Each structure stands twice: as structure tokens, then as C-alpha cells.
């Protein structure tokens, strides 16, 4: 059996995203023929007993209680950052300067300034063959990857209009407790960064075009919530203790904006965690001069495609079940018709990252790509704060 060069992973954070990333690192080499062999070497978190328990559960060989010690270790090749946004810049830049590849969760940072420094550090590191990638995992859902392929093949013609939504309802209860995601100093923004970043990336990824300007609204529906107890771990929705006094919500609950793309197309974007009944409705519809496509993550193995060249008598949206071996990523999994799930997008992310690193290519999305998304997020906040005034990106 061929012995492959190891890629020793150190991960910071072990809650929601940490669990998803751990699963991906474990699973990728079992289904895909990877050029490098990932090893779950070290898991880092602030709480010693909790991080050791998480490491045993998630499959990590060793632990640290200070991310700085993880970055300094000689037995780490890549640092995977699954922490709140206010820590991304410091960890990522230190890791790149220490000669480690970096995978960082989205959004890249809490500000354009931080994201710019991260992109600069990544550009400098790439000169020495050290690469950084931002974890916009939804673009690796096979149906969305197929959507991009159809656009690239010209099946939609000239793109005219984009509709993008990300709808959840987990904060609709006014007595749901405060977590770090509701604290601007930690999360940067609310539904805008948590959900809006994904649909911005997805829209630009599928269409191949970037947002040039926008007009936006932000709203916070519940301005105070029960204060939560001590948080344990990093990178998830938060472990909460007994509710006490109510504390302020300092982020948006909903974000909406209209946008103009660099090819002349227009777009409508909406992100909220107050859409009762919508659990994870990440939706994208693209209308072109020759056809349209539509996707909803709550039915993630399906892509709806309309071919405008068909006769009106029989024309209609075609329901494509994206589970065939010819579809992106799918051939390494199950027989046709056996759908994939949320976790598979993270596995595909590992596959693409290691494949690019192995041949010395820049993995995508790069930190520069993620910086552009950060600029869109910033433009949304500026526009909303100026009575929806148009903002260039």
C-alpha cells in the first residue's frame, strides 16, 4: 500500500463547526483518493477538561489549551480555525507566519481591516508555498457545484437576475438566551455575517460575477435576551448555563439588500434567523437570457433547471436529482439516488484543500475572495446605517 505524506492538522475550537470539521478530516481519506494523508493531531480550546473530552469524542490525538502553543508546534502542518470571528485574524496570521497552511471558517473576520491583514498575510505566505483558504462550505454542495457548471457552460446565457435567501428560525423565541453570536464584539454581525456571507459567496460562486454596489436594511427585532452562563469551548452556537438578567443584543436579526453585479445583473438578498418554519433554507435562484436555475438547501440533492430553448408546449423547470456519478463529488459516495447531507460539504472542502496544496495551487476560496465578501458585508452595514444609501463595494 502506498504511503502518503501526512498532513498533520491542528484545530482551534471544538463545538458546532469543530465537530463538522473533525468529521470531514476523519472521513475524507476513507472515500477519496487524497494526495496527502490528514492526521487529526491536536485540538485546542481554553477549557482543559472540556477540550480533552472533545478530543476523545471527535478523534484527536492530543490537546492544547492555548492556540499559540498549537501554532508553535513542529508537528502541525495545517491550522483549522473554528472559533468566533473576533479571533480569526490573530490566529490565522500567526499560523501563516509560522509556516502553517490555514483553513479558516467564514466570515473571514469581523472587519474589512482584519480581513485585509489576513489576505495580505496569505498572499505573502503563498510565495513560500504556504496556502490559506476560507471555509465557505456550501459551494461544495454537489447541486450548487452543478449550478456553477451549467452557468460556465453557457446554459443560462447572460445572467440577468439573482435571488438569494438564507432563512432560519432558531432565534424567533424572544427568550432564547444570549450567545456569542448575538454579541457584535465576538461575531462581528448577526444574520448578516452568519447567514448572509454564505449567500453572497454562493451567488458570486455560481454566477462567476462579483457584487459592485448595494442598498441595504438591517433590523434587530429582539433587543434584549436572557443572559447566558459561562460558555465552554470555541466555535459553536454556544453552551449556555442558567438564564439570569437580560442583556443587550448588539447584532442584526435580519438583513436585506439589493445589489448590482459587475456584469450588469441585479440581485436581491435576504438573511434572517426569524423565519418561523424555515430551518436551513439557503436558497439561490439565477435567471439568465437562455435559462434559469433554482436551489434550496432544505432539499439539497435537487437542482431545478429551466431550459429556455425548449418548446413552450413542454417547457418547464426540470427537477435534477444530483446523485449521479457524473455530478460533482458524488461518484465517490453512494449509488445513484442515495442523497448526501450537510456534512458532506465539509468533506469535499477537505478534499479540495488537500488536492490544491499537494500540487502547489491556491485553494479556493482564497482569503482574497473572502475579503471581497467581507467588503460586501461592510457595505451592507454602511448602507443600512445611512438610510439605505447606495454603497459601492
Scored b (16 or more CB within 10 A) or e, 162-176 reads: bbbbbbbbebbeeeb
Nearest in space to 15 (alpha carbons), one of 86, 81, 111: 81
Q: So what's the pLDDT on residue 319?
A: 98
Instruction: For residue 165, give the H/E element and its range.
Output: strand 159-167
Q: So what's the pLDDT on residue 244?
A: 59
- Could you tell me the residue ranges of all domains in the chain? 6-137, 141-363+372-392
In CATH terms, are 6-137 and 141-363+372-392 the same topology? Answer: no
DSSP per-residue letters across 314-354: T---EEEE--STTSTTGGGSSSTT----HHHHHHHHHHHHH
Q: So what's the pLDDT on residue 3?
A: 82
- 31 CB burial (10 A radius; 0-12, 13-18, 19+): middle
Q: So what's the pLDDT on residue 233?
A: 37
Q: What's this model's pTM, rounded to 2 decimal places?
A: 0.94
Q: So what's the pLDDT on residue 206?
A: 98
Rounded to 5 degrees, φ, ψ at 16 are -55, -60
Nearest in space to 176 (alpha carbons), one of 280, 278, 274: 274
Residue 135 backbone zone (phi > 0: left; psi -120 to 50: alpha; other: beta): beta
**C-alpha cell read off for 47:** 477549557
Domain spanning 141-363+372-392, CATH architecture: 2-Layer Sandwich (3.30)
pLDDT in tens, the chain (393 residues): 578 999 999 999 999 999 999 999 999 999 999 999 999 999 999 999 999 999 999 999 999 999 999 999 999 999 999 999 999 999 999 999 999 999 999 999 999 999 999 999 999 999 999 999 999 999 999 999 999 999 999 999 999 999 999 999 999 999 999 999 999 999 999 999 999 999 999 999 999 999 999 999 999 999 999 987 533 334 344 444 444 589 999 999 999 999 999 999 999 999 999 999 999 999 999 999 999 999 999 999 999 999 999 999 999 999 999 999 999 999 999 999 999 999 999 999 999 999 999 999 999 999 999 999 999 999 999 999 999 999 999
Torsion of CA 284, 279, 87, 217, to 10 degrees: 60
- The count of C-alpha atoms lying within 13 angstroms of the C-alpha of 274, restricted to the half-sphere facing its C-beta, is 15
CATH fold of 6-137? Rossmann fold (3.40.50)
The pairing of strands 318-321 and 302-307 is antiparallel
The pairing of strands 101-105 and 78-81 is parallel
Amino acid at each position: 500500500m502506498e504511503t502518503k505524506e501526512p498532513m498533520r492538522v491542528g484545530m482551534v475550537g471544538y463545538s458546532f463547526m469543530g465537530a463538522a470539521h473533525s468529521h470531514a478530516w476523519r472521513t475524507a481519506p476513507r472515500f477519496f483518493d487524497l494526495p496527502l494523508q490528514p492526521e487529526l493531531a491536536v485540538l485546542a480550546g481554553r477549557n482543559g477538561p472540556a477540550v480533552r473530552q472533545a478530543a476523545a469524542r471527535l478523534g484527536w490525538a492530543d490537546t492544547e489549551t492555548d492556540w499559540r502553543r498549537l501554532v508553535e508546534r513542529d508537528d502541525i502542518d495545517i491550522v483549522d480555525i473554528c472559533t468566533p470571528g473576533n479571533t480569526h485574524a490573530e490566529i490565522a496570521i500567526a499560523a501563516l507566519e509560522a509556516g502553517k497552511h490555514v483553513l479558516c471558517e467564514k466570515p473571514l473576520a469581523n472587519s474589512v481591516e482584519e480581513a485585509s491583514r489576513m489576505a495580505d498575510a496569505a498572499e505573502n505566505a503563498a510565495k513560500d508555498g504556504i496556502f490559506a483558504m476560507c471555509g465557505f462550505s456550501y459551494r461544495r454542495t454537489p447541486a450548487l457545484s452543478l449550478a456553477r457548471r451549467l452557468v460556465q457552460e453557457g446554459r443560462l446565457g447572460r445572467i440577468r437576475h439573482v435571488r438569494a435567501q438564507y432563512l432560519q428560525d432558531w432565534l424567533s423565541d424572544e427568550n432564547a438566551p444570549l450567545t456569542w453570536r448575538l454579541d457584535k464584539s465576538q461575531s462581528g454581525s448577526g444574520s448578516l455575517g452568519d447567514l448572509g456571507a454564505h449567500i453572497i459567496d454562493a451567488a458570486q460562486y455560481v454566477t462567476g460575477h462579483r457584487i459592485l454596489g448595494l442598498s441595504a436594511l438591517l433590523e434587530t427585532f429582539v433587543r434584549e435576551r436572557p443572559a447566558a452562563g459561562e460558555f465552554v469551548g470555541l466555535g459553536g452556537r454556544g453552551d449556555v448555563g442558567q438564564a439570569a438578567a437580560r442583556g443587550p443584543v448588539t447584532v442584526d436579526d435580519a438583513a436585506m439588500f439589493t445589489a448590482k453585479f459587475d456584469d450588469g445583473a441585479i440581485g436581491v438578498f435576504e438573511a434572517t434567523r426569524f423565519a418561523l418554519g424555515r430551518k436551513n433554507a439557503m436558497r439561490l435562484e439565477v435567471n439568465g437570457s437562455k435559462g434559469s436555475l433554482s436551489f434550496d438547501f432544505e432539499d439539497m440533492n435537487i437542482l431545478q433547471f429551466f431550459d429556455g430553448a425548449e418548446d413552450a408546449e413542454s417547457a418547464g423547470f426540470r427537477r435534477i436529482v444530483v446523485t449521479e456519478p457524473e455530478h460533482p463529488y458524488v461518484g465517490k459516495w453512494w449509488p445513484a439516488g442515495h442523497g448526501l447531507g450537510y456534512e458532506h460539504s465539509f468533506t469535499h472542502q477537505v478534499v479540495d484543500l488537500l488536492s490544491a496544496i499537494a500540487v502547489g495551487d491556491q485553494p479556493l476560496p482564497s482569503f482574497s475572495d473572502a475579503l471581497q465578501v467581507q467588503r460586501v458585508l461592510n457595505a451592507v452595514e454602511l448602507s443600512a446605517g445611512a438610510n439605505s444609501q447606495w454603497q459601492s463595494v
